[in-house]
Structure 1
Amino acid sequence: MPRRPRRGCAASGCPRLAVEGGQYCEEHQRLAVQQYNKHTRSPDTNKKYGRAWKRIRDRYATAHPLCERCLKEGRLTPVEEVHHILPISQGGDHRESNLMSLCQSCHTKIHLEMGDRQIRS
């Protein structure tokens, strides 16, 4: 059975043929893999956020069912996320004194204020 003809590279303006079974030429394939891997979590993430964290998070959310930030402003909003007041990356831990139950909106606002997230347009 004849093979399917190779396609052109999917990178804009690239005149080369894509590697067999892929959509990019060798050069752009390497760049695409680097770009993809740039956004992966570090290997020790599961040590920080594994099954134990899920149990801690669920227990805390059950004990604090309303968004703590909204509650201070007089709104009753159900909890959607549990936030570390001092992030794990900066030496925080999973102790209850370092946790805060938040709705999605308040959690996003906190991270925007911290400067570790940007507004996407």
Structure 2
Amino acid sequence: MPRKPKCPCRYGGCPNLTGSKSGYCEKHEKPMQRYYERFARGYRQHERYGNVWRKIRDRHLAREPLCEMCKEHGRFVAATLVHHIKPLGDGGTHDESNLMSLCISCHEKIHQRKKPS
């Protein structure tokens, strides 16, 4: 039985051909899978953060009710999120020194990352 012809890699600008189900060549398959797992797939918040985190978050927002990044620029915007300066996945903790209060806009700016190449 003849094989299905190879198609171009789905990664923008990549000239390689691939026959994998993902549509990415060997060079881009793993980085794009990591990208998907980290950003596109999402997660269930209650599985990653439990009741302990909610208490820490609420206490931090009560202590720092304004967005810390906006405050540096002279704007006074209510904070709705608590950001880990050093991510938990990289060894960060819930210590007060590793947390900062942010508005949604500033939190999105921090998490703007380029696609892996």
Shared fold, TM over 0.5: yes
2:111 alignment partner, SS class: helix
User: Deviation digits for residues 22-58 of structure 1, max 9, x if unmatched?
Assistant: xxxxxxxxxxxxxxxx63648xx73x51100000000
C-alpha separation in 2, matches of 1:57 and 1:40: 20
Structure 1 residue ranges, 4+ long, deviating more than 4 angstroms after superposition: none
Q: Which residue matches 2:87? A: 87
- Compared with structure 1, are the counterparts of its residues 105 and 93 closer, same or farther at alpha carbon in structure 2 (3 Å cutoff)? same
Gaps of 5+ in 1: 1-37
**Partner amino acid for 1:95?**
D
User: Deviation digits for residues 53-106 of structure 1, max 9, x if unmatched?
Assistant: 000000000000000000000000001100000000111010000000000000
Residue 103 (str. 1) matches residue 100 (str. 2): no
Q: Which residue matches 1:60? A: 60
Cα RMSD of the aligned pairs, angstroms, is 2.1
C-alpha separation in 1, matches of 2:69 and 2:99: 12
Alignment of 1:110-121 (within 5 A): 110-112=110-112, 115=113
Q: Over alpha carbons, which structure has the higher Rg? A: 1
How many residues in Structure 1 have an aligned counterpart in Structure 2? 75
C-alpha separation in 1, matches of 2:82 and 2:43: 19
**Partner amino acid for 1:59?**
R
C-alpha separation in 2, matches of 1:54 and 1:109: 23
TM (norm. structure 1) is 0.56
1:100 alignment partner, SS class: strand
C-alpha separation in 2, matches of 1:110 and 1:40: 17
The percent identity for this pair of structures is: 48
TM (norm. structure 2) is 0.58
Gaps of 5+ in 2: 1-36
> Higher RCO, 1 or 2 (CA under 8 Å, sep at least 6)?
2
